[in-house]
Amino acid sequence: MRILYFGDIVARSGRDVVLENLPLLRREYNADAVLINADNAAHGFGTTPSLCKAFFNAGADVILTGNHTWNQAEIIPFLDENKHIIRPINYGDSLAGRGVCTFELPSGKILVVAEVLGAAFMESVENPIEALDKMLQKYHLGTNANAIVVDLHAETTAEKNAFGLYLDGKVSAALGTHTHVQTADAQILPNGTAYITDVGMCGAEHSVIGFDSKAPIARLSRRFPSERLSPSTNKGFINAVFIETDDNTGLATHIESIFRHF
């Protein structure tokens, strides 16, 4: 299976560059499935039903969110209505939406996509390992899933490293998101799982993780918050990863990071 995953889409600069170029990259990589992270798509905080529909219309198959899932109130009922948008699995079953999507390709192959929220420097959620174990009791590579992709939406590199090694051999890919800066460690782990600590972002160049640099720099110099973050309006770029998996075992055979200016 050939899977293309776009990192955190940040505000208009990120939305525009993805909507304009997703079809192009899908054709270039001959992707069977396209996944995107829209956790920052709506002015930098959360996403909305209208934005999700635009991404689906552009060719996205599954949309993931993250710690900003609940920032836009109108997305909450949409999480229940659309099975191809997910939020972190360890928010639990009592909240709207789901943490796992099963996507059937035209060929009949099954792609399972899940997302877990890290514990370090994040809001209190259910134990991430227990939530992953519960999911993996239901889905197994080579039996009822041709490929399994897990988004590791977490703050620290060490935590994402640990998640990746814990999942090695159990899933096709363990892909870090949330910190918006693409890391240089795309690799296949010893037991066959594709891994990267952070996919990066789709957002404005010459920005601070997609936001105008004025407020972050002021915070550094004054040592206290002085103004609200606002998204940068600079031209956007794309960070993504491309993964290939073995259809028999479900394990990864290839991963490459993508950093593309248009």
Give 137: exposed, middle or buried? Use CB within 10 Å, 0-12, 13-18, 19+.
exposed
Task: State how far the Cα of 51 lies from the Cα of 247, in Å rounded to an integer.
Answer: 32
3-state secondary structure of 15: helix
Residue 219: which H helix or E strand, with range? Answer: helix 214-222
**Predicted confidence (pLDDT) at residue 226 exceeds the cutoff of 70:** no
* Architecture label for domain 2-261: 4-Layer Sandwich (3.60)
Q: Name 194's bridge partners.
A: 173, 188
Residues acting as catalytic residues: 68
Residue 31, pLDDT score = 98
Residue 225, pLDDT score = 65
The type of residue at 230 is S
Task: State how far the Cα of 92 lies from the Cα of 33, in Å rounded to an integer.
Answer: 26
What would the two tokens of residue 48 be?
């909305």
Task: State how far the Cα of 116 lies from the Cα of 234, in Å rounded to an integer.
Answer: 31
The arithmetic mean of pLDDT across residues 33-55, rounded, is 98
What does the pLDDT look like over 76-126, one tens digit per residue?
A: 999 999 999 999 999 988 999 999 999 999 999 999 999 999 999 988 799
Give 153: exposed, middle or buried? Use CB within 10 Å, 0-12, 13-18, 19+.
buried
What does the pLDDT look like over 1-25, one tens digit per residue?
A: 999 999 999 999 999 999 999 999 9
pTM listed for this prediction: 0.96
Q: Which residues of 33-52 are buried (b: 16+ CB within 10 A; e: fewer)?
A: bbbbbbbbbbebbbbbbebb
pLDDT above 70 covers a percentage of the chain that reads: 98
245 CB-near residues (< 8 Å, 6+ apart): 1, 3, 146, 147, 172, 173, 194, 251, 252, 253
DSSP code for 231: B
